[in-house]
Structure formats: C-alpha cells, structure tokens
Structure 1
Amino acid sequence: MTTLRPQQDSVAPAERAGQFRQVHDLVVREIDQVIRGKSDVVRLALACLFAGGHLVVEDVPGTGKTSLAKALATTIAGSWQRVQFTPDLLPSDITGVSIWDQDTKEFRFRPGPVFANVVLADEINRASPKTQSALLEVMEERQVTVDGVGHPVPSPFLVVATQNPIDLEGTYQLPEAQLDRFLMRLAIGHPDLEVEAEILDGRAIAGPPIPRQVTTLEQVASLQRIAATVHTAPEITRYIASLAKATREHELLRLGVSTRGSLALMRAAQAFAAGDGRHYVVPDDVKTVAGPVLTHRLMLTARAEVRGTTSAEVLAEVIGSVPVPVVSGRG
C-alpha cells in the first residue's frame, strides 16, 4: 500500500500532484479488475470522490453499479452500506432514530445506514419524495439532525445513487433541483464483446475478483485537499463561466447551468487534472468532465423534447460554440 506524505507548504505543487497520481492509479487498477473495460467511468467516479461530491449512476440492471460502489469502498478501506429504496422506506430508515434506553432512562440515537463512507442508494427513484429529501439533506449538510442534535456522518462521505432508466412504473423521479445536488451523473454501459468474453472466462475459472485495499481514509482526505488546490488559471475560470452562460442563453434550454453547477465543473476538472498528475487545469479537463457534471443540470424546452433532442447533444453544441482559451500560465 502506498503511503502519501502529509501535504506541507514546502512540498512543491508538482510533487503533490505526482503523489496524487500514484495513489489514484493504484485505486483505478484495483477497480478495473471488477469493472472491466470501463477505466474512463472509474476515473470519473474517482474524480467525483476526490472533488468531495456525490454520484448518480443511471443505467440498466446488471451493468456493475453496485460492484463499482463496493469496490470503491474496499480500495479506500472505507465502510459501506447499501440501501434498497422502496415506496415504503421511511426517512428514519436511512438517517437513524432515537430510541428509549431503559438502563440510562434517556433517548439514545441509533445511527442509520447513511453513517458510512460509501452509501449506495439503490434505485433512489423508487422511494417517496420525503425519503429522497432526507438523504439529499444529509448529502448537503454532512450530518443528521435528530431531536435538535447533530450527528456528523463519516469523512470522506460519498453517496452513489442508482436509477433504472427503463422501468419507470411506480417511481418518483428526482426533480432537477435535487439532481443538482449530485456532482456527476454517469452511465456504465455494457462491456464490448471481447471484454465480456474475458469476464465470463475469468469468472468460470476463479470466481468474481476481489479488489484490495490500496489506500486509507486519511490519504483520501489528503487527496481531496490536494485536488482543491490544483491551479485554475483565470482563462480557465472564464471558460467555465462562458460555458454556463451559453447554456442559459441556448434556445433549446429552459434552464441552464447555475453558479453551483459552474463551481461543480471547476471542482471536477481540478480532481481530474490531479488524477493525470498535473497541478493545473487545462481546457481538456473541463471538456472531459463537462458531460457528467452538466447534462443532469439542463432542462430542455418542450420543442427540444418533441424533436427528440437530448441534453447531451445540446451541451456538445454549447462546448463547440465557446472558444477554447489559450492558457498563458500554469501556476
């Protein structure tokens, strides 16, 4: 297991970025054994973790959504909980509840499954809006408040929520205002033919792969601090702001990217750049994370929906229309 030296002012940014990439690549390598042929998805999921955000994985059953969340928790030595969302799930089933202790003659808080480093909210759109809101509040506040007492959740804290885009009967779709709380939305997708054949061969011989712990929670917290210090030149911040402005003015969008969305895009680009071993953001970092960070924050007009236009297509048009900056300094 690689040990990351504590971040100090005397350590050069380039050296910190090199340390970041060393641990980052170890985690990617381990998860790649579980989610085969999806290194790009794994890298984006890690960028979400290191940026301190939360993740929505929207895909059909059997593509590895649960395996991704569990492998991520295992490699960082984090605790993990899976919550199956159903229509009768109550907020207290997630957050916890105060119970009467006969011995002490007082109420005692019993933590719910949300008190873990990685929480898989499976099929979040099957729970009632009230239960969804309870989870989203914990995601935002990083604590559960019961009877006026705050109970902080562990750190680092990542919620991986899944949605099935096919079977929508009896579901409560997350509204855009709540989706905006998630840093990224990803789809894993099916592996290609060769990779799927290799998966079948490997499982037949040795069974499912088990990832190893390659880092610690303390190191993950240090990586998050490093990602937050990755240099973002004024040209890059203006580029991000220009992309957001272009979405607000696009004729096929009735709701563009908010300032919170712009900040999310910058944080994700910083974490992705650090994963490449750089201490500065380049325009390609912004372009790479723009889709996962922004598409779920866009609302199409009725005309666009009738035409079958997707938010991804509109975003691609926006990215193509905004001039890419030439960055003069790298910090």
Structure 2
Amino acid sequence: MDFETVARAILGNIEKVLAGKSEAAEAALVVLLAEGHLLIEDVPGVGKTVLAKALGRSVDCSVRRIQFTPDLLPSDITGVSVYNQVEREFEFKPGAVFANIVIGDEINRASPKTQAALLEAMEERQVTVDGTTYTLARPFTVVATQNPFEMEGTYALPEAQRDRFMARISMGYPDAAAELAMVRGRDSDNPLDELDAVATIDDVQNMIATARTVYVSPAVEQYAVDLAQATRVHPDLRLGASPRATLQLVRAAKARAAVQGRDFVLPDDVDVLVPVVLPHRLIPMRGAGSVEDVVARIVAETPVPAGTVQPS
C-alpha cells in the first residue's frame, strides 16, 4: 500500500477508540514515522494509555507494555543474564524494551535508577547488559504516559530523559458529544478489543524511509535553527533547546509533511510541531510564567522564511 493509504488507515483506526482526538493521533503517528519517542502527559482517565495501545494494535509489530512502579528494576526493562546449568554458561533473557513499540505506563512512578535504564535504549537503540551490547528492533518507539499533577510516590523525569522524547502531548478532555458517545457505546464492549492491525511492520519501515526523503529547504532548516537558538538566549528561559531538539524538530516536520501528502516541508509544519517538540525540554526562569507562553512568543517573534520551500 502507498504511504497516504496506510497513514489514513492507521489514523482512522486510532480514532475508532479516541473520537475527536485527531491531533493526538497524528502526533503519535508522526513520532513513530520520525523514529522518535512520545510522552503523553495529562490527568488520569483521558485516554493516554488507550492512545498508546491503539497505535500499537494498528501496526502488526511487537508491542510490550511496562507498568512502571516503585519496585520495578532496571533488569525488568533491559533484561538480565541467567546462568544455564545445562549449557554451563550465561544466557541473556531480553527485557520488555525488546519490542517495536514499548508502552511505558506512568513512567514517573519508577525510581530514577529504573528510569535511567531507558536512556541508552531511547537514544542509541541498544542496551548494554554485563558488558555486552544488544541491538533493538527497528523501528523502535517508546510511548510513555504520566500524570503531571500527582506528586506523592512519583519521581520527576530528569532533563536528560525528557530531552530524549521527541514530543510531549496532552489529550485534553473530550467534548460533550464525544463523551456522550463514549458513555453510550462502552457499557459492555471495549473498542480496543475489536481493533485489528491495518499496517505491517514492512509498511511502517517503508513509510519511515519515505519520510526521510522529504525535502527541507535551507530556509526552513534555518528557521528551525533560529527557533532553537532563540530559546537559548531568551531572558525568560534558564535552559534552552538542545541541538537534539533541533534535529528532532526537523525530523518530525518531515514526517508530518509526508502524512499531509507532501514531499517537502512548509514553515507551517515547523510551527505546528514546535509546541509539542520544544516546551518539555525547556526550564523557565522564576516568575517567567508558563514555558508554553514563552515558546509561543518566540514563534511569533521569529521571522518566517520567505520564498520557495519546494524542491526545484
């Protein structure tokens, strides 16, 4: 199947269980096709885990779910070497991270040591156990959820880990019509149980390859760099965007352009993605207000590239 057909099928599949959440569905697909990781941060009960599961069930690939708890160990994630008495040697038992899509539910409930077990996997697509490095499957995407308001029994993600998430989104509450439809339709049936895969792992790998070929003009590249640079010198920000953030912003913009049916990136692609790619990486100065407001001002003040952005 062609790129556009598969993209529409995946988005339609997700929206079967999350009506009215097309922006969240598109963000999840964009992150998957850009080979990034997604952090879904919102209050309980708005569909964070449902979105992650719907994405996993829409693609015929390996999916593992990790319920993060205070007693979860790093070896539960990465794996452990176990002595085989028959063979008289150690053999590696892979952990839950060995999957194409890893769903990390309530990631901020695990200890910092356990959270750190994901750092190497998320950045380098590999894990090292007892001095031996094991390569993870491709594609590899972590979709993690957390409640930003609950403090007791949680451990805030460190900046190094937040920076490894390509995007952070919030689900928000459903509108009245969507909530009423949910109340009427879910008395006895769980729509996730009826969700079938609409794309193969080969389809997704081909889509990733297509997204990589999307054209980004020098002007749009400079625009992304200007936005990142502005966060590093803004008086209201104590910590600006990293170079990794710039790379991931451009990569996500290419994937979004492909999902939108284009083979080139528009400045609009960058503008749409800045609010989900940059804010979770930034730290405001005391009394500066919300990071989201600061980022919105930076976007408004940064000149948009003029002239052609299409391949010649």
Q: Which TM-score applies when normalising by structure 1?
A: 0.91
> Are the structure 2 counterparts of residues 205 and 131 from structure 1 closer, same or farther at C-alpha, using a change threshold of 3 Å?
closer
Match of 2:243 in 1: 259
In the TM superposition, 1:1-331 aligns within 5 A as 3=1, 19-204=2-187, 206-209=189-192, 210-304=194-288, 309-331=289-311
Q: Secondary structure at 2:186's aligned position in 1?
A: helix
Task: Letter of the 1:118 partner, please give it.
Answer: I
The alignment-based identity, stated in percent, is 50
1:203-234 deviations in Å (ceiling 9; x for gaps):
23754352221111111111111111110001
Q: Secondary structure at 2:235's aligned position in 1?
A: coil
1:303 CA drift (Å): 2.8
Q: Distance in 2 between matches of 1:82 and 1:61?
A: 18
Q: Distance in 2 between matches of 1:107 and 1:327?
A: 61
Q: Secondary structure at 1:281's aligned position in 2?
A: coil
Contact 2:265 2:309 in 1 (8 A): no
Q: Secondary structure at 2:40's aligned position in 1?
A: strand
1:148 CA drift (Å): 2.2
Contact 1:233 1:327 in 2 (8 A): no
Q: Secondary structure at 1:238's aligned position in 2?
A: helix
Contact 2:237 2:285 in 1 (8 A): yes
Contact 1:84 1:121 in 2 (8 A): yes
1:177 CA drift (Å): 2.2
Contact 2:219 2:309 in 1 (8 A): no
Contact 1:236 1:327 in 2 (8 A): no
Q: Distance in 2 between matches of 1:77 and 1:32?
A: 18
Q: Distance in 2 between matches of 1:25 and 1:327?
A: 31
1:99 CA drift (Å): 0.7
Contact 2:104 2:143 in 1 (8 A): yes
1:14-40 deviations in Å (ceiling 9; x for gaps):
xxxxx3222111100011001111001
> Are the structure 2 counterparts of residues 106 and 205 from structure 1 closer, same or farther at C-alpha, using a change threshold of 3 Å?
closer
Task: Extract structure 1 runs of 4+ deviating beyond 6 A.
Answer: none
Contact 2:166 2:277 in 1 (8 A): yes
Segments of 5+ residues of structure 2 without an aligned counterpart are none
Task: Letter of the 1:159 partner, please give it.
Answer: V
1:147 CA drift (Å): 2.2
**C-alpha RMSD of matched pairs (Å):** 1.3
1:179 CA drift (Å): 0.4
Q: Distance in 2 between matches of 1:223 and 1:161?
A: 23
Match of 1:13 in 2: none
Contact 1:230 1:274 in 2 (8 A): yes
> Are the structure 2 counterparts of residues 299 and 320 from structure 1 closer, same or farther at C-alpha, using a change threshold of 3 Å?
same
Figure out how many residues of one structure are paired with residues of the other and give that number. 310
Q: Which TM-score applies when normalising by structure 2?
A: 0.96
1:186-205 deviations in Å (ceiling 9; x for gaps):
11111100011111222237
